[in-house]
């Protein structure tokens, strides 16, 4: 089974989830939008999402990151549950979309792309940008993959500290785990898939 999926990790993202769902329906997407819901979200939100036609997947306990990064990373500190999506083996393939996205034209062709197809978003502003942006990813889930990715946390911390950053997000862990992604050009999607 294939599906679009997004993460609802705080109630602040709820309006975005509703708009993303409406935009996928507007372009006649062939696959449903599943909503992965963090444990911090009240149960009544599940009912609201289901009434609007969105299946809900309750995620296990949140991914732990060091408290110093939780305090300094602002809204990024709520996105680590995105790693759980890599283990949702009930699905053959997922196209992950951040809930601050709108789909303007049908993108069902992404389900034909290989695992970890993504955009090095931001090249229009930063032409030398090479890392993947985790706002849109093609994911082929695998048993145990979230744990393997979580093991890259220390590497991700070292990498952000090396550039003098005090912020850490799911994207940093994903890039630390898939460190060869910049050289795998077959995984690079056109920037039009993930633009500000």
Q: Catalytic site residues?
A: 82
Residue 159 CB: number of other CB atoms within 10 A? 18
Q: Is 74 left (phi over 0), alpha (psi -120 to 50) or beta?
A: left
Q: Taking a C-beta distance cutoff of 8 angstroms, is the pair 77, 69 a contact?
A: yes
Residue 2 CB: number of other CB atoms within 10 A? 14
Q: Which helix (H) or strand (E) holds 19?
A: helix 14-26
- 48 is written with which tokens? 């609201």
| b (16+ CB within 10 A) / e for 60-74 | eeebebeeebeeebe
Q: Is residue 149 exposed (0-12), middle (13-18) or buried (19+ Cβ within 10 Å)?
A: buried
How many Cα neighbours within 13 Å face the side chain of 127? 0
Q: What is the DSSP letter of 105?
A: S
């Amino acid at each position: 089974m294939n599906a679009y999926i997004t993460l609802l990790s705080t109630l602040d993202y709820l309006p975005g989830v509703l708009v993303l769902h409406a935009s996928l329906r507007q372009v006649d997407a062939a696959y449903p939008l599943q909503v992965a819901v963090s444990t911090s979200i009240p149960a009544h939100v599940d009912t609201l999402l289901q009434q609007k036609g969105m299946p809900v997947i309750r995620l296990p306990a949140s991914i732990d990151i060091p408290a110093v990064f939780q305090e300094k990373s602002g809204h990024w500190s709520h996105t680590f549950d995105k790693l759980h999506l890599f283990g949702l083996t009930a699905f053959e393939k997922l196209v992950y979309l951040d809930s601050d996205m709108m789909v303007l034209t049908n993108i069902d062709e992404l389900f034909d792309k290989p695992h970890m197809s993504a955009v090095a978003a931001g090249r229009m502003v930063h032409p030398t940008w090479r890392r993947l942006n985790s706002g849109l990813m093609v994911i082929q889930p695998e048993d145990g993959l979230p744990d393997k990715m979580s093991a890259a946390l220390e590497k991700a911390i070292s990498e952000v500290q090396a550039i003098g950053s005090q912020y850490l997000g799911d994207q940093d862990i994903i890039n630390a785990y898939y460190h060869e992604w910049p050289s795998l050009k077959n995984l690079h999607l056109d920037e039009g898939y993930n633009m500000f």
